[in-house]
Structure formats: structure tokens, C-alpha cells
Amino acid sequence: MAEGQIRQSLSGFYDVFSAGKMYRTRARGNFRKRRITPLVGDRVVFESSSPKEGYVLEILPRTNSLQRPPVANIDQGVVVTAVAEPEFSTNLLDRQLIALEVSGITPVIYFTKTDLIDDDRYREFETLAAGYRQIGYAVCLTREPFATEGLNQLKTTLADKETVIMGQTGAGKSTLLNHLSPDLTLATGEISKALNRGRHTTRKVSLMPIAGGLVADTPGFSSYDTLTIDYRELCHFFPEFMALADDCRFRGCVHINEPGCAVKESLAEGKLLQSRYDNYVQLLTLLKNQKPVYNKKK
């Protein structure tokens, strides 16, 4: 028996990296009975008679996990965001950031397709990027797409970390990975103009060594699973609201109609991004009206 890390999953096989070697394994049959699915990024105990034959015996405790993409023990998530084609939306960006915050994963924002916008629009994005940096997020935005300074900034961020690259199909995730590690040559899918949605170009989930860290390249997706948090908890995943919460008059303030709300005061003074607050209110309303989901017994 040995310990290792699942680096790739494909059709029921799990490639486990241990002591400099890769072992192809399957999950023990009782995993299915116990409804346990090994994830890429899991630390596992396994046994192997040869590099092509082995079994995962135990999954060690996870620090976190994501459903889409199905990965575990991730340190940070790079949200690849196109400034155009597909059309930019602060709402989608904020939903992605919240999904990461809920999972305890540090978000990083990387803007792509900056060559498709004019200088005035680019200045708007500079202002937006400054707003997100003020919150505490790392943001990569360069006038030329995939400029060396932005890539170098990202490479430093990736070193010694396990990272998931996420974002809409067509946002440029595979292109970004190809720039970071040219020997990867991942298939890059053009946006299907007829359907206006990208074809899935990435079929398997794997952790790849890039820039001194491990990066999960994952299928593109344009919508996020419904958040299953209580609406009163939503503000906990907006770092800029949490920084002000102690100054609110009421404990448990959700920053909507309460008097003496420090968040609303900061917003009125122009110290917070209006788009963030608007997206917060919209999401809070959605969560408040969400009907509980009862899982039927199988």
C-alpha cells in the first residue's frame, strides 16, 4: 500500500501519482455502494501490482471539493473572463467568485480578449479591475491579450499551488493554458456561432504540472449550479461586506433595508462597486425565494 494523489480521471480509471511515478487504478467496488466518488486532486491510499493495475482503497480527508469541475483539495481558482465574445457580465463573474468563496478556494481574475475592445471600453475595465483589487482579489488585465507581464504575474500565482481554471466556454481557458505552457497544445474550441455556445473541447479532468504548480483543466460551462446557502449567509462571501459588517448598527445585518448599515453608507460614498451590490441584491432575492429541494430516496 502507498499514498498518492489522483492526477487524472477518465472512464472509471484514476491515474495516481506517487513517488515520481503514475499508476492506473480503479476504485474499490464498495466505493459505489457507499456512494463515494474519488475526485482528481484527492490524496488516496492505493495498492498496485503494476503501473497499469491497481485499486484505490481509501480517500484521505479533503480540504474542499467542487462539483463542476469535479476536483478536490484546490488552493485557488482562476476565473478566466472574456471582456467580449461572449459578452461580459459582472453577474456571471460575481457568481463564479461566490462559488469559489463558498468552497473555501481563493479566487484570481484573468481578463481575456482585450484586443476586441476599444480604448474607452478598456479604461472601464481598468476601473473595474481596480475595484476588484481593492476587495483583495488578484486581477490580471493587460491591454494586449496574454501579454508577458500578465502571464508572469499568473505564473507566480500558480507556483506551489493547486489551481482550477474556470470560466465560460469560449472565454479562452485553453488558450491561456497554451500560453502558460506551450508544450501542452490543448485543443481550443471556437465559439459555435450558430448555437452561440461553445463545444466542449475538454473531455477528461486532469491535474497538469504548469509553472511549478498543478493546474486542473476543466470543461467549459456557462451556468453555475444553484447556490444552496441560506440567503442570510450570502454576505459572508463578499469580502468587502465582511470588512464593514462590524460597523453596521445591527448584528446579522444583511445590508438591504436595515438602518445604520455600513455597507449602504460605503456604497453611497462610492467606496464599493455598485455592480457588486446590485448582483448581491439580485442573488439574495433569488436565494430568499428559492424553494427547498427535497432529494427523493433512490
Query: Residue 115, annotated ligand binder?
Result: yes
Query: Residue 288, annotated ligand binder?
Result: no
Return the bridge partners of 139, or none. Answer: 109
What is the Cα–Cα distance from 53 to 71, expressed in whole angstroms?
23
Query: Residue 248, annotated ligand binder?
Result: yes
Query: Residue 114, annotated ligand binder?
Result: yes
Query: Residue 113, annotated ligand binder?
Result: yes
Query: Residue 202, annotated ligand binder?
Result: no
Signed CA dihedral, 186, 187, 193, 198: sign only: negative
Query: Residue 112, annotated ligand binder?
Result: yes
Query: Residue 99, annotated ligand binder?
Result: no
Query: Residue 175, annotated ligand binder?
Result: yes
Query: Residue 169, annotated ligand binder?
Result: yes
Return the bridge partners of 21, or none. Answer: 18
Parallel/antiparallel/unpaired status of strands 21-27 and 53-59: parallel
Query: Residue 261, annotated ligand binder?
Result: yes
Residue positions forming the annotated binding site: 112-115, 167-175, 248, 253, 255, 261
Residue positions forming the annotated binding site for GTP: 112-115, 167-175
Residue positions forming the annotated binding site for Zn(2+): 248, 253, 255, 261
